[in-house]
Every structure is written in structure tokens, then in C-alpha cells.
Structure 1
């Protein structure tokens, strides 16, 4: 089963859930290792959300991939993410809002399944965004991309291009740029954790989104205004 609970929501009546999707490889049919460092990289993000005021009411679940890689048209990570999301909704009901938090390959998977009606928002961290990635299903969805301008693994220009196309397709999109960091989010880690916490809780309605993000998310269509937001607005 690709759904693993870390913390179940406090209530199915007024609860909410963060579904975490870790990174992986472009190709690879073997399962993730037992150590699974890409997953461990996201555990501090989970803790940061849970430790925030009102964060204790947020349930946390993870997608357990069956394969390490995306594997071309198989899109294995997205298939597993969809199965995990479907099972999550089956267990807690369709009315409970879910935010997807994905890093790298997990960011691509989160964007790929983000049209699900239970998804309240998507936070894509350093996402892998190959050219031509579909965006039409994201219409009317809130999408926040967070990327370093020095990422050497997933080109930040490609996430910028996806953000523009998604907004033009009717999505509510903001893209936050963290200068001088890296793909692993090790440099300026506290900034990544803090910003992600603000975004997750804001998209779930537990606290206000940062004002520049809220302003950007209010726009759709071809207008590029306020799409790219550069720190240190929240550092």
C-alpha cells in the first residue's frame, strides 16, 4: 500500500492532511532503499508543520513508492501518489482538505495528481518539471513552486516555465525563489522549512498565507505580474 500515516488528523470533521511525496530518480525499477534519504530529507518539513501553532491538528501521511524512478511514460511515482491519495480520501472522506508537499520527483508527482477534488493546494519544492509537462488539470487549483536559483539538478528555469503555463491554463500560481540554496535544500534549510510551513498551513486555512503569495495566487491567465517572488520576504 503506497499510503503511510505518520500522524492521523485529529478529527475527520474539521481536520486536514499534509501528504508528503519525496524525490527519486529519473529511472529505476528497484524499490527505495531502507535508508531512503530522499524521504528523510522531508521529515524536518513534517515536524515543522506539526510544531507550528495549530499544526498539531494537521494529519501527516507519506507516499511509499514501489519504485525508485519515474520511468518514462510509466510515471510510477505519479501512479503511486494517485493510489495513496485515493486511499487517503477513502479513509478520511472527501471533505477533508489535503495539501500535497513534494520535492524533486515528488514535486512532479504532486503536480501531476494535483487536479484531484480533495486537493486544497500544492507546494512543489525544487520540482522536476520537464518541458511539456501537463498543466491543464491544474485549473482552479492553488499551486506554489519553491525553487533555488542555484539548483543544479532540476533547472529553475523549467519550473518557471511550468508556472507560467499553469497560470495561463487557469491555475492560481505563485513561485518563490530562494537565492543561494541548493537542490537538497541543505543551504538555508530553516528558510525552506519556515516558508513551507507558512504555505502548507495557509493553503489548509489554518493561518494566513504570506501576503505576496496570496496576492500572486489571486491572479490567473497570461498576466505574469507577481508570479515570481524572491526572498528574503520570509527569512
Structure 2
């Protein structure tokens, strides 16, 4: 069902930017880059937050076990989350509606970094979404998790992140465990917010997690069982 609460003018620019679009997709991955807490500036494909996701996108695409998975970016209208407007979250819902129109009701994994992780969590309740992989997500204390019901949620957070909080991410995952089909987290030892330190581990682990979320029955979970416990999350 289209989200009519999004203003009509926003629909003139597509929110869905396909990077790989097979004729008959059986599943989809939507990639969401980071942004700012507050900004009315329009997004640009060459901004650092968007470029940061290029190697992640390439790693995920290369690791997909099947060629019939659609891979796309989400284009935000503005760089900021902008309080209760949750602009990036609204754009993600719009991209999911566009995906439905393009490919039908295919199971979809949202892969988001920083603010993109918040947008992914915000949109987790969309009928298309079956899983969320959040990288160093910006999940403020008390972020709602009811929309994760029936979904699989995985967060990866660098231990040395000084931009977003690994502790806040852990709290959100623990709360989501009460509603999600499965929710877990792993900590990247020495990892930073930009995912530059130990970038190969970030890329390899992210690609493996996304492949598992796309097909949990056929692709083994790359994370240890301790990632889904109720205590402290393990360090990779």
C-alpha cells in the first residue's frame, strides 16, 4: 500500500536506485547510507556518507549466492533525519513502495549504516522487509522496536565508534529480542564508525550476514550463537 502521508512533490524523484535488477527478482537488498541529525540540504551521490557504502555494496553484491537478487540504493531527499519528520525513514518507505511496484512482493533485506541503520529500523515493519542489517547504527535510547515483529535484525558495531553508541545499539537489540523473530549483535574489535579500521572484516562479515538474512534456511549464519544472547555481545 503506498504511503500517502509523504508529500506529492517528493514522488517526482525516485527513491529507489537499482544497481542490479534481474528480470524476475526473487529477493532484494536495499542499501541506505548515513546522514546528519538535522539538515535541510539535499543529498548528493558524491557526498562522503554515500561513497562510504560503495565498497560495502560491491562486497555484498559479489557475495550473493544467486544472481536473481535485486540490489538497489535508497535515495534520500535531504541529508538530515530532522526530528519527528524522520525524513530518511519516510524515503525508505517510499523506496520500498517503489520496489513493490517494480518487482512485486519480494522478501527484502535493508542494509543501513549510521542514520541509514535508523532508517532501516524505522521501515522494518513494511510488508516487503524480512531482515535488517545495521552497521554502526544511530539508534537513540528508546528507539521504537515494535515494528521488528517477525523480522530478523542484526547489528554490527565498532568497539571504537565515537559517533554512534555501541551501548545504545546493544540496548535496542536486547529490546527487539522480545518482538523480532531473531535479533543479535556483534562488536568489531577496534572498528570505527567509518568502517575503515578492519575494513575487510566489516565487508566480509556484512556480506555474509546479508546472504544469510536473504535465505536463512540455505545460507549458514556467519555469527556465533552468542550474538543472539541476552548478555554482553561477543567481539569479532
Say whether residues 1:224 and 2:221 are aligned partners. Answer: no
TM-score, length-scaled by structure 2: 0.88
Shift of 1:10: 4.9
Local SS of the residue matching 2:102: helix
Q: Is the contact between residue 28 and residue 67 of structure 1 (CA under 8 Å) also seen in structure 2?
A: yes
Residues 126 and 145, structure 1, Cα contact 8 Å, conserved in 2: yes
Residues 20 and 62 in structure 1, CA contact (< 8 A), matched pair in contact too: yes
Distance apart, 1:40 and its partner CA:
1.2
Match of 1:207 in 2: 219
1:188 shift after superposition: 0.5
1:5 aligns to 2:18 (yes or no):
yes
Contact 1:55-1:201 at 8 Å conserved across structures: no
Secondary structure in structure 2 of the residue aligned to 1:30: coil
* 1:121-164 superposed Cα distances (whole Å, 9 cap, x missing partner): 10000000111110011122100000011100001111011011
Which residue of 2 is the match for residue 220 of structure 1? none
Q: What SS is found at the alignment partner of 1:131? A: coil
What is the CA-CA distance between 1:37 and the residue it aligns to? 1.5
Deviation at 1:211, TM superposition (A): 5.5
Whole-angstrom CA distance in 2 between matches of 1:121 and 1:134? 16
What is residue 57 of structure 1 aligned with on the other side?
68
Give the distance between the partners of 1:161 and 1:111, measured in 2 at CA: 14
Residue number in structure 1 paired with 2:98? 87
- The 3-state SS of whatever aligns with 1:168 is coil
* Equivalent in the alignment of 2:125: 115
CA 1:211–1:162: 2 relative to 1, 3 Å: closer
Moved more, 107-116 or 45-54: 45-54
Deviation at 1:208, TM superposition (A): 1.7
Aligned CA RMSD, in angstroms, stands at 1.8
Q: Conserved in 2, the CA contact under 8 Å of 1:198 and 1:210?
A: yes
**Alpha-carbon distance change, 69 to 199 in structure 1, aligned in 2, over 3 angstroms:** same
Aligned residues: 221
Structure 1 stretches of 4+ with a deviation exceeding 6 A read none
Partner of 2:141: 131
What is the TM-score normalised by the length of structure 1? 0.88
CA distance in 2, matches of 1:201, 1:209: 9
The 1:37/1:100 distance shift into structure 2, 3 A limit, reads same
- Map residues 31-42 of structure 1 onto 2, 5 A cutoff: 31-42=42-53
Conserved 8 A contact 1:10-1:59: no
In the other structure, the counterpart of 2:4 is: none
